[in-house]
Amino acid sequence: MPKVKRALAVEDLTKIAMYSDPQIAPNEDTYAFVSATVNDDNEYQSQLFLQKINGGEPKQWTFTNAKNSHPRFSPDGKKLVFQSTRSGLSQLWIVPTNGGEAQQLTFFKNGAVNPEWSKDGKYLVFTASLKENDDVGNQHEQTKEERQKEKEQQAKEPIVIDRLKHKSDAHGFHDDKRAQLVLYDVEKATFTQLTVNDTDHGFEDISPDGNLILFSANLDDDADYALTNDLFMLNLATKDVTKLTDGNGSYGNARFSPSGDKIACFGHEYAYSGATLNELYVFDVATKERTCLSSKVDMQLGDVMVGDSRMGYSTEGPVWSLAEDKLFFIGSDHGTTGLYQADLKGNIEVLYKDNNHVFGFSYNGVDNTFILGISTPTNPCNFYQWKNTELTQLTNANAELLEEVSLSEPETITITAEDGSEIQGWLLHPYDFKEDKKYPFVLEIHGGPHAMYGQTFFHELQLLAAKGYVVLYTNPRGSHGYGQEFVNACRENYGNGDYTDLMSAVDYALENYDFIDNDRLGVTGGSYGGFMTNWIVGHTNRFKAAVTQRSICNWLSFYGVSDIGYFFTEWELGKNLLDDPAKLWDFSPLKYAENVETPLLIVHGEQDLRCPIEQGEQLFITLKHLKKEVAFVRFPGANHELSRSGNPEMRIARLNHICGWFEKYL
């Protein structure tokens, strides 16, 4: 008899290996990748692995209880540089590929990240967080005790703020350190600081001849008020900086062509504010002339898939072909992502696309093959070789867990919205499903709103199905994957068409699946999905339980407390606080608190700077004062990323609270 698999458990979250960042070696027969896991101390760690492409199991290369990541082969393939937290914070390390111990390269006080080799292997460029007068040639890494003492001292000192952009959810309150580019001369073992501007610099690429450094930054005088990100070239010999873009947009993922004559990048000029689709551009290095290659497609370039089991960076493109006649990149379309190619005339075609999630790739120009990272709803991740239109599996990640647990294969559905447009969604059947049984139901709503649910592994969704719920998740208007008009359709109209799209999806499910219990409907979502959960319970009583996560309830206060509020409010709602406070109040779920009859659980991280916890506090106090059925769960130290990269124990506690609330009321 076949083995009866058990239901997925909350704790299985800590058993999943999350792969990322495949990198093909110069010898073309090996590639490196990163595997992130949760260790026995309930902390994240990541290790480097190498695998022969034509056979053999992956071989683990790092074993320290630390985060090892960003492996990059030297051009001759004899060395591998990577970043590791084994000394206490992220520094650069190098290891011979023929064996031997890793050696620490950097001892910077604030660490070093994202190393890249010059094409001749003579130097590395990396990013370091530096103060204005820091000397990169005289850096000393602090001991654990010294770092702790400095942290305790800083906690006693006031924070002086004089900038509009003074905090971010990823980094907390900003200080006087900036991300600067540093060059390491391999032969001389010396460091040279390449950028000095009072702004953060993003490394993009090194020209093939090694003379130019491509970076992105906002160097405008009014940078504190502008959200632009320009591309620049730094000449290493003359130190001259050339600006490639015009200060009106945001550009990144930029790479020199093999000859160095051209530069490809993603970018846009905010035609639809934050809902603007990326374009694929090519610049002529000599003339600075720019050509758009993506005008023939109405698709988001890059990977915008929503999930909770991805960790670490992976290349999304654009990547040049060796012949310099094509560019390769990931595109997001109708709930899937695939590998695409564009020629220099703007003709775009699919290389690989299936009912799954391509989350990264590495390109081998010699034989025109790729290593693809792929996730499906029932398999968190694996690497494959794509060669001559054939896909060959290379890894067997999470095999033991997948042999043990039962996962639900989603059923794709198409809903007709009130205005006649089509909405894509997916339905998960509960564990041990039986046709003649009635099941409770949970609607999940993604954040963004400009993001995309789709065919990827999502532990939270699978967990709810394992707990016995029918799970529905959809891409209402405002989502990526369906073109520019669709992703822009919710702006200045929150709580209207997007709300009716979701309600139409619920109606569709109830009409077409008679195993759903109409009297046991639940709803949950995070960020924008939390806003929408709050909006829903203030506008209908059809749900018997709701969980709002890292949500927005009051756009008036959000404007001033969120790290993005001062621009996001105008981008998405059309008005800033002083423009039309009455309109912002109309968009605020808090206004409709008296209508709420649905038992509501509020889940929020205390260090969330994107949707600050005062949003959860306002909602809780208002509903509690009105004697509504409400509870509030606060997560100390957790930011907006709690559900995706937060402390593993906190993530488990969060899921237990969500499941417990639905179990109590559904």
Three-state SS at 527:
coil
Give residue 9's identity as a one-letter amino acid code.
Answer: A
* CB environment 456-477: b (16+ within 10 A), e (fewer): bbbbbbbbbbbbbbbbbbbbbb
Q: Which residue has the tokens 């294969």?
A: 409
Q: How far apart, in whole angstroms, are the C-alpha atoms of residue 109 and residue 107?
A: 6
Q: How far apart, in whole angstroms, are the C-alpha atoms of residue 304 and residue 336?
A: 10
Going through 218-376 in order, the beta strands assigned E by DSSP cover: 230-235, 241-243, 250-256, 262-268, 279-284, 290-292, 300-301, 319-320, 326-333, 336-343, 348-352, 357-364, 369-376
Q: How far apart, in whole angstroms, are the C-alpha atoms of residue 130 and residue 178?
A: 5
* CB-based contact 251:229 (threshold 8 Å): yes
Q: What are the backbone angles phi and psi of residue 223, rounded to the nearest 5°?
A: -60, -30
Give residue 247's identity as a one-letter amino acid code.
Answer: G
For the chain, the distance separating the N- and C-terminal CA atoms, rounded to the nearest angstrom, is 35
Q: How many CA atoms lie within 13 A of 588 on its CB side?
A: 24
The enclosing H or E element of 546 equals strand 545-549
Q: Helix, strand, coil % (nearest 5) of the chain?
A: 20, 35, 45
Opening angle at CA 311, ends 309 and 312, nearest 5: 160
Using CA atoms, how far residue 423 sits from 209, 417, 470, in Å, is 49, 7, 19
Q: Which residue has the tokens 């610099």?
A: 201
> Residues 6 or more apart from 240 whose CB is under 8 A from it?
234
Catalogue the active-site residues.
527, 640
Using CA atoms, how far residue 604 sits from 170, 596, 639, in Å, is 16, 19, 8
Q: How far apart, in whole angstroms, are the C-alpha atoms of residue 14 and residue 271?
A: 41
Give residue 430's identity as a one-letter amino acid code.
Answer: P
Three-state SS at 359:
strand
